Amino acid sequence: MKIEKDKIELRYSNWVSMLVDMIKPKNLYLVGGRGVAKTTDIIAKRSIDIIHDMPRGTFGFISDTYVNAMTNIIPSLLQGWERQSFLEGYHYVIDKEPPDNWERPYVKTIVYKHTISTWNGCKFLIKSLDRPSANAGVSTVHLFGDETKYLKMGKLKKALPTLRGDYILYKHSPFFMGQTFLTDMPDVMDGEDDWILQMQDGMDVKQVFDILQVSFIINEIEIELLELKDSKASEKKIANTIRKLDRWKDRFVKIRRDSTFFYVVSSLVNIDVLTFEYFVTQMSSMSYEEFKKSILSLKPSLAKGQRFYGSFGEKHLYEDGYNYDYYDSQSIKDVKYKWNGLRYINETKGLEVGVDFGNMISMVVGQTASDGKLVRLLKNFYELPPHWMREIADIFLDYFDGYMRKSLLLYYDRAGNNYNRSRKDLATQLKNDIETDRTGKRTGWRVQLMSVGQGNISHEDEYNLCLQLMGESNPRLPRLLIDKYECKELVSSIKGAKLTKNSRGQLVKDKRSEKIKDLNRLPMESTNMSDAFKYFICRKEWINIAKSKNDVSRVL
């Protein structure tokens, strides 16, 4: 084919992304491994197709939380749009009324905050499972969702009725009333929902193959048309080819109606970008079970009895921890994470912090009720090398800027008083960095070191305490509640901590995950954050209460 190079734009796309582009189903359900570029490539391109196909339509982008959508998912979508040359200010605007010469949606818009509007009148709304009242009653013509393993079907069903729209306006589009949901492989033992795997039953395989066949024919005709135009063929021949192309495009629209495409694909689909060395590194630095789930997209098989925190479950998580009066005042592009966005924080009380000085600094922040019957973990922070104590202190100070009661109880590993590697008193260093900012100015915070002189906290003590605390078998211990979304690294660390035995046959926490070479994976995959939790929860008085019951003797 002899076509001038300046008329061709070359873009890389992995084959599963191209497959989705060619099928263009009404419903897409894709389970993909790490690095498949689910949002920045697949959802981004598919959403642009749908925008073009249903002008002036209203779409919903649904997430587990409104904050996650604003701060993670929507920014990734916009990044993907930019890669596709779908540009802000030219193709869409955010959080404001579009220019007067742009089309307006069929559904009248009064407030443009937290919306994305396109030049042809389309509108994207943010919908979330933790705010069922948001956008209630608004009709949408297509729903998008990423990280669907976090979308509980019981709650999702309440959001699906908004998918209705106007058949008269959009009956021409196979995308009308469709769904686009993507995720990596869910782990039900981690409390994730695997409803997306059931969507395979709704796929008509023959229909999908027929769609592909028609798509290939259209592709061949389009190449033929390009060659005819390039060779300056007769107008009659070009017109005949265009009519043939139009006939096959009509067939393509008809055959895609009510189509569903379900697919499970591993990270290997993107090996050209990720490289073979990436997979070798992943295999050597993570457990086999994690590699199966995150890279190969195979169902995990770790049993509950193999977990160090075996009594931990969904009852210890709360999902209504956001104060949306605060976040509603923010814009999508400039949203700020602050303590004001936490519903259950009490600014008249001081804070309690557990910190682990490992190969990453892990910090868990919480408050204990005045009557001692409830401990609530509100937020976690972390910092990776080469950043260190000053940086984690700055993150804390920025997040809690303006907090009323600047009192902090700091619980930590006794090694923090004499860190073997650097021979520095890390606990005191962190205390000083929180009490004094980078310029040497006092911040107003008063930090009390709670672990001075404390003995070693054994695996047995932690296991016994958490067995009773999480099992709620000892009424003298407080009830534990953790913010599911603001402590996601902590929750992942707790759920992933394995139970093993040492050379003396004692039950211990398997710490090998802390040796992962890729530091960026430590927050979600290592036991580091669970150690910060350990120091928060393993206080002398609570350990003694657990020991007095001595449940561990029956377990060991």
The tens digit of pLDDT for each residue in 452-485 reads 877 688 888 898 899 899 999 899 999 999 999 9
Query: Are residues 304 and 49 in contact, defined by beta-carbon separation less than 8 angstroms?
Result: no
Provide, rounded to the nearest whole percent, the portion of the chain with pLDDT above 70.
Answer: 90
Strands 123-128 and 142-145 come out as unpaired
Query: What DSSP character marks residue 235?
Result: H
The distance in angstroms from the start CA to the end CA of the chain is 73
Q: Domain total for the chain?
A: 2
- Residue 121 inside a domain? The answer is yes
- Residue 252 inside a domain? The answer is no
CA distance 19 to 23: 6
Write the DSSP string, 64-102: SSHHHIIIIIHHHHHHHHHHTT--BTTTEEESSPPPTTS
- Residue 349 inside a domain? The answer is yes
CATH number at residue 45: 3.40.50.300
pLDDT greater than 60 at residue 416: no
Question: What token pair was written down for 505?
Answer: 């046959």
- Residue 70 inside a domain? The answer is yes
What residue spans of 160-304 are helical by DSSP H?
167-170, 205-230, 235-255, 271-274, 276-285, 288-294
What are 228-239's pLDDT values in tens digits? 888 888 888 889
What are 30-75's pLDDT values in tens digits? 999 888 888 889 999 999 999 999 999 999 999 999 888 888 889 9
Q: Note whether 50 and 159 are same-domain residues.
A: yes
Q: Note whether 200 and 308 are same-domain residues.
A: no
CA distance 103 to 120: 5
Strand partners, 32: 265
- Amino acid present at 225: L
CA distance 151 to 135: 17
CATH number at residue 496: 3.30.420.280
- Residue 291 inside a domain? The answer is no
CA distance 435 to 453: 22
Instruction: Note down the domain range covering 338.
Output: 304-549
Q: Note whether 190 and 326 are same-domain residues.
A: no
Question: What would the mean pLDDT of 350-354 be, rounded to a whole number?
Answer: 97
How many helices (H) and strands (E) are present in the chain, helices listed first? 20, 17
What are 504-531's pLDDT values in tens digits? 777 788 888 888 878 888 898 899 999 9
pLDDT greater than 70 at residue 134: no
CA distance 325 to 146: 25
What are 440-455's pLDDT values in tens digits? 999 999 999 998 877 6
- Residue 210 inside a domain? The answer is no
Q: Note whether 188 and 334 are same-domain residues.
A: no
pLDDT greater than 90 at residue 164: no
- Residue 521 inside a domain? The answer is yes
Q: Note whether 139 and 14 are same-domain residues.
A: yes
Q: Note whether 182 and 312 are same-domain residues.
A: no
**Secondary-structure percent of the chain, ordered helix, strand, coil, rounded to 5:** 45, 20, 40
Q: Note whether 200 and 309 are same-domain residues.
A: no
- Residue 450 inside a domain? The answer is yes
Q: Note whether 174 and 320 are same-domain residues.
A: no
Q: Note whether 199 and 311 are same-domain residues.
A: no
The owner of tokens 């910090």 is 363
